[in-house]
Structure 1
Amino acid sequence: MYLALLIILLPLILFTLVKILKIKVEGVESTPIYFSIRTKHIVSILEKIAVRSSNVINDFGRIAVYTTIFMIIFYFYFFFFNFLKFLFKFGETSKIIILYPGLTINIEESIYFFISVGFSLIIHEAAHALQALSHDIEVRWFGVGIFLGLIYGFVEIDDKALMKAGKEVRRKIYSSGPFTNLIIALTTFLLISAVYQLGISGILVVDTKREECAPLKGKIITRINDIRITNVEDFLNFMESRKVGEVVKIETVSGETYFIRLGERFGKSFLGVACVNYNTLYYNPFFKLLIWLGIININLAILNAAPFFLTDGGKFVREFKIKGEIINYLGVAILLLNMVASGLG
């Protein structure tokens, strides 16, 4: 709670410090409700990349346009049927949860949240800038900021040049950001899937029901009778074929070995342990960061592609004139309905 309050008050705190210390730095803008830093140095780097890779960036933009159309369709499909599930009480619903450090995210996880958000926003805005620069549209500034506790990124593009560029170019610029986040999300999930296999899997004994099993509490079981145990399902399958009174050999991740005689419960063999799946990667900082990168980027991709007037998706569909405005209204309405349903459900 205190962390959330600190983040919300951060612009005011920074504004106070700037005034007291009389700090004047080019590109720094500070008010009681928002604080932003913008720079031309990153723009200079992006200009060089745009010159060398203009063809690749253009092709990227074309793919981004079609992908953004797909994401907009997916957004309406998913949230429309999700609302129907809330309304008519069928199927599994997905509640909308706002991720916010100190409220829905604990302090430890907040570190991964900030790193992931910062990285993802910078890459997102860089994609917009590169697409604009590849079409000879001036990008004046590249920056990040915080507004009433909400972190955001931005690029300042020459509006007149943007309007002269034509609808096709504007659509490529608007769609490049969400598409980039989608690529990062998919890449991250593939890495998670691959890296997960490298973790030491087993079952963690969280409680014991028999005195003979007391030494196992807190241990990670990896083998029973030389059979590999990677999850709870493996353990239950093993126990199905055991007999009451049978002595089993239990090995742990730390190299310890225990011989325990099985008890009896409800006419079946019974070891007497309560256990959960365990993987060392759950506690690995790199693995946690990968998970957060995936979560943040898939959300940024869908929400930025969604038509909400000021989002990339909102600007994208507005290129279709009156139909774009209608789609924006529908996009906001379907999200609000899901938020209300999530609160009541």
Structure 2
Amino acid sequence: MLTEWQLVLVALLIFWGGLMVADKMFNLEKYGFNVLPFLLICRTTKLNNFLSKTALKAPRAWRVMGDVSIPLSYSALGYGVYLLSLNLLNAFFRPQQASPVIPLIPGITITWFSFIYALVGIVVTLAFHELAHGIAARAEGVPIKSSGVLLLLFLPGGFVEIDEEAMEKVRTRSKLRILSSGSAVNVATALIALLLIANFQAVISPWYGPSVGVVITNVDPQSFAYGKLVPSTVLFAINGTPIWSPLALDIYLLNVKPFDTLNLTTSMGEITITAGINPKAPYKGYIGILYPQPFYLPYPSSWWLGHMFPNHVYMVLQWMFIVSFSVSIVNMMPIPAFDGDKILQEVVSSFVAEEKKTSILRKGISTRKLIVNLARATAICFLALNFIVPLLVAGFTPL
């Protein structure tokens, strides 16, 4: 019997193998598809007109927003570096509070249930990111060659292909506006999503009443509840005590001890489980419910929306925040192919003369290249440490 990740691997191999065969048989390139090993690119020029019209309606306003995007993007990077540094310190001194920085791999690092919502967040984040680059480029007078979507292994993506020759001719300030616009829009998207999450009850109040329970979105495979509680189950009470919200659940669990017997009143009926040992606090009980959400009942006039609609919206908003904020940080790091690397090269070129050399081991090395490569190595090592160290000391639970 194949495990879940083995099934995923087999499905991916079949999909990409079939796509390569179809490309050979039907020459998909003439339809705008470029098929490479584990990479599918669909390129078009149909979006160029929209980007130009949008940018040229108010080019001055877009340039002002471009100026704002530069400090906004670097502020997000600074805050992200602070969080990642804190995460590393926790890995060494408070392992139970550390979390590894891991890629989203369906069935391995993220459950398929969560990946559906994460996929929406990824698509929205990348769409806004690339549209921002395209509009900023046209506002600065830089032509757009093409735009499109891509699929890398199993992750969707998007791109706006800017005319690099024209890009080289514009001034440094214009380049920084264009390059930082994507991350700035991601910061704005994350903040909007966070604002909606923080005021979610007010947002849905015209159609739904207050929370009356907790929706289970994930269950720890190492807990006694695994296999008994499944995603989308609604928890209403524990041992007769109403659980109105995730906060009420947290408060109740404060008094639960390991191996206590708990009778759960759920949408699936009465379920009895035994509390396990909390991995972060061994003296506390643990039932393994991860990422619980409030459960809202619709008003009679809004019955057609269904009981689970708010939870679908809430999950999408959560992943929009997570993905947008993460992309805004990582994209600004000086890592090859990311905007942060291009920005660093542009800034270094503005302040360091091309002919300037630095002597290392009696060899003259370009100072520009030395600064850029040191920054790249530091960023890559920093991310790698945030992946390896917390993973070794704390492990991870699929999202």
TM-score range, shorter chain: 0.7 to 0.9
Q: Distance in 2 between matches of 1:188 and 1:205?
A: 20
1:70-109 matches, cutoff 5 A: 70-89=75-94, 92-109=97-114
2:384 aligns with 336
Query: Which one of 212, 215, 236 corresponds to residue 202 of structure 1?
Result: 212
Cα deviation, residue 123, structure 1 = 1.3
**CA-CA distance at 1:303 after TM superposition:** 1.3
What is the CA deviation profile of residues 236-282 of structure 1, one whole-angstrom value per residue up to 9, with x for unaligned ones? 6xx9xxxxxxxxxxxx999xxxxxxxxxxxxxxxxxxx9x8762269
Measured at CA, do residues 44 and 219 of structure 1 come closer, stay the same or move farther in structure 2, by a change above 3 Å?
closer
1:43 aligned residue (33, 42, 48): 48
Matched residues in 2 for 1:128 and 1:8: separation?
33
Contact residue 215 and residue 294 of structure 2 kept, 8 A: no
Distance 1:9 1:139 in 2: 35
Q: Map Cα deviations across residues 176-220 of structure 1 (whole Å, 9 max, x no partner).
A: 1111111111101111121245464235699xxxxxxxxxxx773
Q: CA separation in 2, counterparts of 1:23 and 1:151?
A: 19
Q: C-alpha displacement at 1:324, in angstroms?
A: 4.0
After superposition, residues 175-254 of structure 1 pair within 5 angstroms as: 175-196=180-201, 198=205, 200-203=210-213, 220=236, 230=245, 231-232=247-248
Q: How many angstroms does 1:134 deviate by?
A: 0.5
Q: Which runs of 5+ in 2 are unaligned?
A: 217-233, 256-264, 268-286, 297-306, 349-367, 394-399
Q: In structure 2, which of residues 59, 63, 69 is the aligned counterpart of residue 64 of structure 1?
A: 69
1:164 CA displacement: 0.9
| Aligned partners of 2:215 and 2:295 also within 8 Å | no
Q: Secondary structure at the match of 2:24?
A: helix
1:34 aligns with 39
Q: CA deviation at 1:117?
A: 1.3
1:244 aligns to what?
A: none
Q: Which amino acid aligns with 2:295?
A: T
Residues 329 and 8 of structure 1: CA distance in aligned 2, closer, same or farther (over 3 Å) = farther
1:279 aligns with 2:327: no
Q: How does 1:99-138 map to 2 (within 5 A)?
A: 99-138=104-143
**Cα distance per residue 1:19-54 (max 9 Å; x no partner):** 223444343211233110011111211111011021
**Equivalent residues, number:** 300
3-state SS of paired residue (1:319): helix
What letter corresponds to residue 312 of structure 1 in structure 2?
Answer: D
Cα distance change on mapping 1:279 and 1:316 into 2, 3 Å: same
The residue number in structure 1 matching 2:340 is 313
Specify whether residues 53 and 14 from structure 1 end up closer, same or farther in structure 2 by C-alpha distance, changes over 3 A only. Answer: farther
Secondary structure of 2:142's counterpart equals coil
**CA gap 1:70/1:228 in 2 versus in 1, 3 angstroms:** closer
Q: 1:177 & 1:9 partners in 2: Cα distance?
A: 34
Aligned-partner Cα distance in 2 for 1:182–1:201: 29
Sequence identity of aligned pairs in percent?
Answer: 24
Q: Would the alpha carbon gap of residues 131 and 91 (structure 1) be closer, same or farther in structure 2, given more than 3 Å must change?
A: same
Letter aligned with residue 317 of structure 2: L
Residue number among 318, 325, 333 corresponding to 1:291 in the alignment: 318
**What SS is found at the alignment partner of 2:132?**
helix
- Following the alignment from structure 1 to structure 2, what is the Cα–Cα distance between the partners of residues 32 and 134? 36
Aligned-CA RMSD value: 3.5
Deviation per CA, 1:281-308: give whole Å up to 9, x if none: 6943222222221221111111112221
Question: Structure 2: which amino acid aligns with 1:279?
Answer: P
Q: Distance between the aligned counterparts of 1:73 and 1:96, measured in 2? A: 17
- For residues 235 and 16 of structure 2, what CA distance do their matches in structure 1 show? 47
Deviation, 1:10, is: 4.0
TM-score w.r.t. the length of structure 1 is 0.75
How far apart are residue 342 of structure 1 and its match? 2.4
Contact 1:68 1:178 in 2 (8 A): yes
